[in-house]
Amino acid sequence: MAIELYDIGFVVVGLALFGVAILPRFVSDKPVSMPLFFVGFGILIFGAPLGLPAPDPLEQGHLTERLAEFVVIVALMGVGLKIDRPFDVAGWWSTWRLLAITMPLSIAGAALIGWWAVGFLAPTALLLGACIAPTDPVLASEVQVEDPGEGDEEEPMPEVDGQQDEVRFALSSEAGLNDGLAFPFTNLAIAVALVGLAPGNWVGEWLLVDVAYRIGVGTVVGAVLGWLLARGVFLMESETSIAKSVKGLEAIAGTLLVYGATEVVGGYGFIAVFVAALQLRHYERTHEYNESLHEVSELTEQAAMGLVMLLFGGAIAGGLLAPLTREALVAAVAIVFVVRPLAGIVGLLGFDRDWSERGVIAFYGIRGVGSFYYLAHGLNEAAFTDADLLWAVVGAVVLISIVVHGITAAPAVKRFAPG
Mean pLDDT score across all residues of the chain: 83
d(CA 110, CA 100): 16
- Where is pLDDT greater, at 19 or 349? 349
Per-residue pLDDT tens over the stretch 52-69: 788 899 999 999 999 999
Question: What pLDDT does residue 379 have?
Answer: 96
Find all residues with CB under 8 Å of 207, minimum gap 6, and list them: none
DSSP secondary structure of 81-132: HT--SPP-TTTTHHHHHIIIIIHHHHHHHHHHHIIIII---HHHHHHHHHHT
Residue 46, pLDDT score: 87
Query: 140 falls in which pLDDT band (50, 70, 90)?
Result: low
Query: Lowest mean pLDDT: which of 7-21, 46-60, 338-352, 359-373?
Result: 7-21
Confidence of residue 145 (pLDDT cuts 50, 70, 90): low
- Per DSSP, the three-state class of 286 is coil
Q: How many Å apart are CA 62 and CA 70, to the nearest integer?
A: 12
DSSP string, 204-256: HHIIIIIIIIHHHHHHHHHHHHHHHHHHHHTSS---SHHHHHTTTTHHHHHHH
Tell me the per-residue pLDDT of 158-212, one tens digit each, with 9 for 90 and over.
443 344 578 888 888 888 888 888 899 999 999 899 887 776 667 888 899 999 9
Residue 378: per-residue pLDDT: 95
CA 388 – CA 209 distance, rounded (Å): 30
The class that CATH gives domain 31-46+57-415 is mainly alpha
Q: What is the mean pLDDT of residues 245-271?
A: 87
User: Taking the domains of the chain in order of start, what are their residue ranges?
Assistant: 31-46+57-415
Integer-rounded Cα radius of gyration of the chain? 21
- Across the range 264-279, mean pLDDT stands at 93
Of 351, 277, 285, give the one whose Cα is nearest residue 95.
351
pLDDT at residue 51 in the model: 75
Q: Identify the three-state secondary structure at position 263.
A: helix
What's the pTM value of the predicted model, to 2 decimals?
0.89
Cα 80 to Cα 180: distance, rounded to the nearest angstrom: 13
Nearest to 290 by CA among 83, 75, 24: 83
The predicted pLDDT at position 244 comes to 57
Question: So what's the pLDDT on residue 247?
Answer: 65
Nearest to 250 by CA among 230, 224, 275, 279: 230
Q: Is the pLDDT of residue 103 over 80?
A: yes
- Comparison of pLDDT for 312 and 354, the residue scoring more: 312
Residue type, 375: L
DSSP per residue, 151-166: -S--S-SSS--S-S-H
Of 152-161, 287-296, 358-367, least confident by mean pLDDT is: 152-161
From the CB of residue 338, how many other CB atoms can be counted at a distance below 10 Å?
12
Check whether 134 has a pLDDT greater than 90: no
pLDDT of residue 8: 67
Least confidently predicted of 39-53, 105-119, 136-150: 136-150
